[in-house]
Structure 1
Amino acid sequence: MANFSYDEAYPHPLFFETYKQRGHVFEFFAVLIPNYIPAPFCFLFNFNLIYITYKNRHMHNPINILLAILCLSNAIYKMNDVPSFVNIVTATNFVPLLNCFYYQFIPLYGLLSMYQYTCVIAVDRTLLLIFPLWRVFI
């Protein structure tokens, strides 16, 4: 049985060893910046739909309220771009694990609630197609 040294087992340095020093890394910019470009538009359009639904009394029916709640959960989900963007701008390549948990907890709630509201909207629309006269009496 041969004894392998670290250099023989891992000929290339590990990811953490390569990027553990503080500083701007081009690879992080190249991969993550295209993800950040649509985020402000997502906030803008989602909150515009919520505002329009709130202000216009003709849009206070159940489906529009469900769509506004879906937009709110989508905006909460898009908050997951903020911590990594701040880390890239401040040149902090790695964060402690506990901080990472707290950074992702609220956006994860937004993602999971987004799936739930999408299912509720799909059931509502399906029931409307199957039983079209029910909407008249509700």
Structure 2
Amino acid sequence: MKNQKGQVLVVLLFFILAAITVISVAVSLIFVNSTSASKFEQGVYAYSISESGAENALMRLIRNPNYSGETLLVGGGSVTITVTGTTAKTIIAEGTYKDFYRKVAVQASYAGGFLTVTSWKEIQ
């Protein structure tokens, strides 16, 4: 009878150790997934900042065809806008947020007093 009580304690300790291991693995997986989701969200935010810079450049080009770009602070990040070309305009908007960086290139042209966007894409 005395030996059985010791065996129950060993089995109980084994199950407690197994439960602690499972809980530790689950918590670490949750932490890793949470970190990945946060990084993905920051990358998307940097892309949104670069797109808003490109939209800002288009608006300014409509008002002033000689607009050449600027750097703006946008929602905790920044965007550097560069505009090149005379009638065919190339807009490069480089958005940064924390450690993330995204770049958008927009091709637009003036024809008959209208600014027409011909291409809009993310570039490396």
Using the size of structure 2 for normalisation, the TM-score is 0.31
The structure showing larger relative contact order (alpha-carbon pairs under 8 Å, at least 6 residues apart) is: 1
Query: More helix by proportion, 1 or 2?
Result: 1
Higher strand share: 2
Q: Work out which of the two has the higher radius of gyration on C-alpha atoms and give 1 or 2.
A: 2
* Normalised TM-score (structure 1): 0.28
